[in-house]
A and B are shown apart, each in its own frame.
Chain A
Amino acid sequence: MSVAERTGPQPLLRVRGMSKRYGRRIGCADVDFDLYPGEVIGVVGESGSGKTTLLNCLSAQLEPSAGSLVYDTRERGPVAVFDLSEAERRRLLRTDWGLVRQNPREGLRMSVSAGANVGERLMAVGARNYGQIRGTAEHWLAQLEIAADRIDDRPGTFSGGMQQRLQIARNLVTRPRLVFMDEPTGGLDVSVQARLLDLLRRLVGDLDLACVLVTHDLGVVRLLAHRLLVMQQGHVVEQGLTDQVLDDPQHPYTQMLVSSILPV
């Protein structure tokens, strides 16, 4: 059965004409796409092409200059995200959405323990029972391959790869339906990257997560993304099935991007 048949043909996120200007400079311009439940969409492009800007608009971190963003909520059906109140948007980010930042130190609270970093998100959605919170935190740390005896340590004592896994655990603990990730494997060495990718691949499948994944690494999208958006100077110049875009790129910029790296 297709994703659409299981959940109804309704996209989870509908993006139209999404544009962000910084003064006269273009951050991103006229981005259109639909994201369906369980679908992973990769966003690639060179440095400065607008990937982070787009992600920040999509995750309501940044107010776009123009465009619409409609999210299909569990309770109320499709809502225009930027028509929601600030408080409602924050609630969405704490419950239904996850946001994994490139630098885990920005996505974590460095002054509290690993367990608290995960437990805190649960408390934000109303969990109160200490034993249950700790149990769930332990479960998610284990899912992300963080040893149980590190639960009381602060993230500052973790390696970069462990911090990144902790940030992901913190995001997944509320069982979000949609996760935004900005270069989740950036800054990690290759073997740590492979392990993280593998974990992500499994989790995305098991939890039926929809995901917007920003990266400049075409190997990462080949592995994780169903669909790909290619950005250049703020515009989406090509989009399609991931392997099609990588094996039979149509746009000159995509061809350049694909040919300038080793085979993936």
Chain B
Amino acid sequence: MLDIRGLAKSFTLHTQGGARIRALAGFDLQVTSGECVALTGPSGAGKSSVLRCVTGNYLAEAGSIRVRLGADWVEVIGAPARRLLELRRTTIGHVSQFLRVIPRVPTLDLVAEPAVAAGATRAEAEQRARRLLARLNLPERLWNLAPATFSGGEQQRVNIARAFAHPYPLLLLDEPTASLDAENRQAVIDLIDDVRRNGAAVLGIFHDREARAALATRHVSLAEGRAAA
């Protein structure tokens, strides 16, 4: 599903005297359907940068990132914006560390939206959204409210629900279990594991040892922007 070769990424901070920060160099990784790869490594090793380069949120500097789209492989690096948006709409589910709340949009609509964008009918999308929110223990009285006023853990679960709103074949998860209590963490772990068993390719960053042990079928450790032995 995902084939990364020789990925390099650095940041040039023009507002700070042109300082250069290297995040990734010569990073390789392949993730196939039905596996869950856990990226590990110290803070600043480049884990989040890998995920962000795959979605096109960060502009990779060299190498190749290919994602399978139906029968084709799409090269992410250098792809036009429309192509990246299409990949996100149809293929890549993504949990970022924080939910960017859209003011005034009720939770149920927020969670249904990605499925509608991927081609589901309104009714299908809403039904799926309800099932997901129930499964993630989000109290039903919150479903018609915008998440702006929700607790950190509640927002996080809305965020996760959005990434599972459509059966994306590739999931990128940046600390999906952060800020959740034990019960909700288990609900999220079960959800991710089900989806993987049903054939999704999962690439995740799990700081929580328990989640990692329960989910990962393979570990890839990053050190200074490269896959460490």
Seen from chain A, the residues whose Cβ lies within 8 Å of a Cβ on chain B are 1-4, 36, 39, 194-195, 197-198, 201, 222-223, 226-227, 240-241, 243-244, 247-248, 250-252, 255-256, 259
Contact = CB atoms under 8 A, between A and B. Distances in A.
B15 A240 contact: no
B14 A248 contact: no
A256 B15 contact: yes
A56 to B, nearest CB: 25
B103 A198 contact: yes
**Main SS at interface, chain B:** mixed
Given A39-B82, A198-B104, A248 B15 contact: no
Nearest to A253: B14
A213 B128 CA distance: 33
A244 B83 CA distance: 14
Contacts of B86: 2-4
Nearest to A219: B103
A180 B81 CA distance: 20
17 contacts: A1-B119, A2-B82, A2-B86, A2-B89, A195-B104, A198-B102, A198-B104, A226-B85, A240-B59, A241-B56, A241-B57, A244-B56, A244-B57, A247-B52, A247-B57, A255-B13, A256-B15
B105 interface: yes
Interface of B: 11-15, 52, 56-59, 81-86, 89, 100, 102-105, 119
B58 A248 contact: yes
Given A36-B82, A241-B84, A250-B59, A194 B103 contact: yes
B81 A240 contact: yes
Task: Give the one of B59, B82, B85, B100 with max A CB within 10 A.
Answer: B82
Contact of B14 (A3, A201, A226, A255): A255
**Main SS at interface, chain A:** helix
Contact of A248 (B59, B83, B85, B100): B59
Contacts of B100: 222
Contacts of A197: 103
Contact of B57 (A36, A195, A222, A248): A248
Contacts of B104: 194-195, 198
Given A223-B102, A256-B15, A247 B58 contact: yes
Contacts of B85: 226, 241
A195 B83 CA distance: 30
Contacts of A223: 102
Contacts of B12: 250
B159 to A, nearest CB: 15
A256 B14 CA distance: 8
Nearest to A39: B82
Task: Give the one of B11, B52, B58, B59 with max A CB within 10 A.
Answer: B59
A208 to B, nearest CB: 12
A240 B58 CA distance: 11
Nearest to B116: A205
B21 to A, nearest CB: 12
Contacts of A240: 59, 81
B101 to A, nearest CB: 10
Given A1-B119, A241-B56, A201 B102 contact: yes
B60 to A, nearest CB: 10
B58 A226 contact: no
A243 B57 CA distance: 6
